[in-house]
Amino acid sequence: MYGDPEQPEAFIPLHAPVFRGNEKKYLEKCIDSTFVSSVGAYVDEFEGRMTEYTGSAQAVACVNGTSALHLALRLCGADRETEVITQPLTFVATANAIRYCGAEPVFLDVDRETMGLSPDALRNWLKNHAEITSISDWNEPTCINKSTGRRIAACVPMHAYGHPCRIDDIVRICEEYHIPLVEDAAESVGSFFRERHTGTFGDIGVLSFNGNKVITAGGGGMLLFRDKEMAGRAKHLSTQARVPHKWEFIHDQTGYNYRMPNVNAALGLAQLEQLPRFLREKRRIAEQYREFFAGSDTNGQAAGDASIIFMTEPEHAHSNYWLNTIMLPGKPARDEFLAYTNDQGIMTRPAWRLMNELEMYRSCQTDRLDNARDLADRLVNIPSSVPGNIL
């Protein structure tokens, strides 16, 4: 995707990482310490700093965002007998994590403005399908899908391309229906809604530090919790469910090897230190795009095509502008734009194919998906890298 020796010189990628901070210093220290694997001081420090930055109660670092999502859903009790509500316009990891638990995804529509799960679609679907019962293993109010008899284990909205969805409304609905809320905030590190970091509204938030995200740990993910007891269970599950003992290998359930290695945390920590600068720069780039696509540049001269809409941050949101996104008038115009730009060595990409149109999720429950369908046909991501020479 970037740094590809096959690509021509002038190639402009969608999102390349920038390493102008303490990356090499921390990596060298990490290697010198010999603690490069799943124990080490950088993991604790990275978690601590992320906890502070996001304002969550506790953070647990994982090998990647997908494994973090899997753990989050396991902690909500997602299993073969349950369903999980999410949006069809998302990266495949969201749906895959649901299936790793054996649960059935339910795909509901997104809002046009935020590109994230629509609280209206959620409320409407629940009105028609949900029933609250107190007869459960936990003896707590539980939400059941009347048409299938299965429990709704979680609702997973996603903050698309770094733009926060209407998460406050979704919180209210999930509380009303007793549905655990897991935010897929993989793309929205540094994005805030009403001054609160995305991923801290739900019971659990999930972040990603993949190479193409706002900050990278090479690979990595993080779980954000408001409940420390739950965070403890996540950490336990992510370390093969090993029970602490001076020498014995005791494991009290089937756990996972999902803990972030120290070498990745060293890289992640150095990147986190630069996040405020990255965010400032990304907002500057977004502002330039916004002006360009508004049809005139700062001198008032005609520039961009006014029939192309630049997606700006929604109401009450402060977006990280991870991937700048434009909306073309229709699918033919989109395809023409994609062909032209990629021919010129400018990397552009369409939105994801809707989850319910992928082979393995074709038979999943859906509702009206008018907005998701329209956006999937018309959205294009355009180059959004922070320039490497500015820092």
Ligand X SMILES: *Cc1c(COP(=O)(O)O)cnc(C)c1O
Which among 58-66, 172-180, 256-264, 275-283 is the span making contact with ligand X, rule CB under 6 A? 58-66
**146 catalytic, yes or no?**
no
Rounded to whole angstroms, how far apart are CA atoms 96 and 186? Answer: 14
What are the Cα distances from residue 266, in Å, to 22, 126, 278, 377? Answer: 9, 43, 18, 40
Q: Residue 221: CB partners within 8 Å, gap ≥ 6? A: 61, 62, 63, 64, 65, 66, 67, 68, 69, 186, 206, 207, 208, 209, 260
Site for ligand X in 230-289 (CB under 6 A): none
Least spacing, CB of residue 131 vs ligand X, in Å: 30
Site for ligand X in 76-105 (CB under 6 A): 90-91, 93-94
Least spacing, CB of residue 187 vs ligand X, in Å: 5
Q: Which one among 187, 203, 313, 377 touches ligand X, defined by CB under 6 A?
A: 187
Q: Which one among 59, 152, 167, 186 touches ligand X, defined by CB under 6 A?
A: 186
End-to-end CA, the chain: 22
Rounded to whole angstroms, how far apart are CA atoms 189 and 272? Answer: 10
Is 171 a residue that touches ligand X (CB under 6 A)?
no
Which among 59-67, 113-121, 244-252, 383-391 is the span making contact with ligand X, rule CB under 6 A? 59-67
Q: Residue 16: CB partners within 8 Å, gap ≥ 6? A: 2, 3, 385, 388
Rounded to whole angstroms, how far apart are CA atoms 2 and 216? Answer: 14
Number of other CB atoms surrounding residue 3 within 10 Å: 10
Which among 35-43, 63-71, 170-178, 268-276 is the span making contact with ligand X, rule CB under 6 A? 63-71
Least spacing, CB of residue 94 vs ligand X, in Å: 5
Rounded to whole angstroms, how far apart are CA atoms 117 and 181? Answer: 12
Q: Which one among 38, 51, 54, 66 touches ligand X, defined by CB under 6 A?
A: 66
Rounded to whole angstroms, how far apart are CA atoms 199 and 209? Answer: 14
Least spacing, CB of residue 281 vs ligand X, in Å: 20
Q: Which residue has the tokens 């900050």?
A: 215
Of 29, 127, 213, 228, the active-site residue reads: 213
Is 158 a residue that touches ligand X (CB under 6 A)?
yes
Q: Max CA-CA distance within the chain? A: 73
Which among 179-187, 243-251, 254-262, 341-349 is the span making contact with ligand X, rule CB under 6 A? 179-187
Comparison of 217 and 266: residue with beta carbon closer to ligand X = 217
Which among 30-38, 60-68, 111-119, 233-241 is the span making contact with ligand X, rule CB under 6 A? 60-68
Give the residue closest to ligand X by C-beta. 65
Q: What is residue 361's DSSP assignment?
A: G
Length of the chain: 391
Q: What 3-state DSSP class applies to 119?
A: helix
Least spacing, CB of residue 90 vs ligand X, in Å: 5
What are the Cα distances from residue 297, in Å, to 288, 303, 325? Answer: 8, 6, 18
Least spacing, CB of residue 380 vs ligand X, in Å: 16
Q: Which residues bind to ligand X, rule: CB under 6 A? A: 64-66, 90-91, 93-94, 158, 184, 186-187, 208, 210, 221
Q: Which residues are catalytic?
A: 213
